[in-house]
Amino acid sequence: MTPLALLLAALASTAGASLTISVPADDAYVSGSVTMKADLSPAEVVVRRMTFGVDGKVLCAVEGPPYECPWEAGTSVVPHDVRVVAELIDGRRLVATVRTRGSSFEAASDAEVVQVAATVLDAKGKPVRGLTRDSFRVFEDGVEQTLSHFIGPDAPSDLVVAVDTSASMGPSMAVCRDAVKAFLGGLRPDDHLTLLAFNDSVFTLARRETDPAARLRAVDRLTPWGGTALYDVALRGLQLLGRQGGRHALVAFTDGEDTSSHATAEDVDRRVQASDVPIYVIAQGRGVKERQLKQILNRMTDVSGGRAFFTERIEELEGAFAEIAEDLASQYVLGYEPRNAARDGSWRAIRVEVVGGARPVRARQGYRAEPPA
């Protein structure tokens, strides 16, 4: 086809062209690292330039597919106006806009706000959804606190999933991969996933990934060898989530006791006491049989407001992941500025109640009021 014919075909394709923004979606929650994406229809449309802007500021411009733009949305889940402009080859401009959603939780006062993840259970032990800020009362050392922040289960989550890839996992790794994929398949597109593998060391296979296909590809890279650095991966996961306000959790699977960590169980215990991240652990193998390890895992999860699962057979792994997914999908986040503002290193006990009923609540047991760094 001659250059003139190509030009005429390109001009013809612009008739009836449309522009949409696929990421972020309208009314979605966004925070952290986001890759904005725009779609042109039909695919043959030729553009001179595609410009991405947020809140009136131009962030980047691209001249061809894929029409994507990286954006650091910050740690606060606040509303943003996203605008994409496509300048077509025939001189016309297509404009698409979306407005993201803000939660009632702001991370601006992280140093003062205590965040508590809470799961409310019904008479059958199943998580309860549909509650509001007015449904909760929070007490610190027996003194009722005033809730300043609230996030319901519909807000996005920031998750770190850590999978044991030590040599002992060799015979079970295929089943483990399938169970992890099933768990990740239940995440929403606006959830952020960081996937860690750990054996003698800790490896990052995906970092705050939102693309479902990319998440599953990362799972395929789980390969068994080496020892078990369980304490190291726990500290790494808490570190990654430490600056993320809002809904977040650490989910770990291990089939043995720690053999390779530089950190100790005491290091993890201190970090858990200072963290607001709920921790979920699934243990098999020696993780089920070793009494001391079970005590460590139970304390780690109980203090944080998470859960520990001890499964006898690898076939039970998918069911344990499914229970964790149900918990996370029904979790509320409560925030308050403590009446006791002293940062004296003391332990502060937390109790969460549901108004008008004796429903059990699984929540963070307390926190260590560490002095500012």
> Is residue 201 over pLDDT 90?
yes
Instruction: State pLDDT tens for residues 41-82.
Output: 887 888 999 999 999 888 999 998 999 999 988 766 678 899
> Is residue 349 over pLDDT 50?
yes
Contact indicator for 251, 162 with CB cutoff of 8 Å: yes
Side by side, the strands of the sheet bearing 157-164 are 202-209, 192-198, 157-164, 247-254, 279-283, 307-310
State mean pLDDT over 111-129: 89
Instruction: State pLDDT tens for residues 172-198.
Output: 999 999 999 999 999 988 899 999 999
In this structure, the number of other CB atoms found within 10 A of the CB of residue 202 comes to: 18
Structural domains of the chain sorted by starting position, each given as residue range(s) with its CATH number in brackets: 3-99 (2.60.40.10), 114-152+332-368 (no CATH), 157-328 (3.40.50.410)
> Is residue 19 over pLDDT 90?
yes
Residues 6+ apart with CB under 8 A from 206: 193, 194, 195, 214, 215, 218
Sign of CA dihedral 152, 154, 156, 160: positive
Residue keyed to tokens 């308050």: 336
3-state secondary structure of 114: strand
Rg (CA), the chain: 24
Percent of the chain scoring above 90 in pLDDT: 62
Average pLDDT taken over every residue of the chain: 88
Both tokens of 242, joined, read 């430490």
State mean pLDDT over 293-310: 94
Instruction: State pLDDT tens for residues 332-347.
Output: 999 999 999 998 989 9
Q: Which alpha helices (DSSP H) does the chain contain, by range?
A: 3-13, 173-185, 212-219, 230-241, 265-274, 286-289, 291-304, 317-328
Compute the half-sphere exposure of residue 222: CA atoms within 13 Å on the CB side of its CA: 30
Contact indicator for 225, 167 with CB cutoff of 8 Å: yes
Q: Angle at the Cα of 108 (from 162 to 72), degrees rounded to 5?
A: 60
Main-chain phi, psi angles of 74, to 5 degrees: 85, 175
> Is residue 91 over pLDDT 80?
yes
Element (H or E) spanning 72, and its range?
A: strand 68-72
d(CA 29, CA 12): 38
Instruction: Name the nearest CA neighbour of 15 among 58, 51, 44, 49.
Output: 44
Number of continuous H segments (helices) and E segments (strands) in the chain: 8, 21
Sign of CA dihedral 39, 42, 44, 50: negative
pLDDT value at residue 8: 45
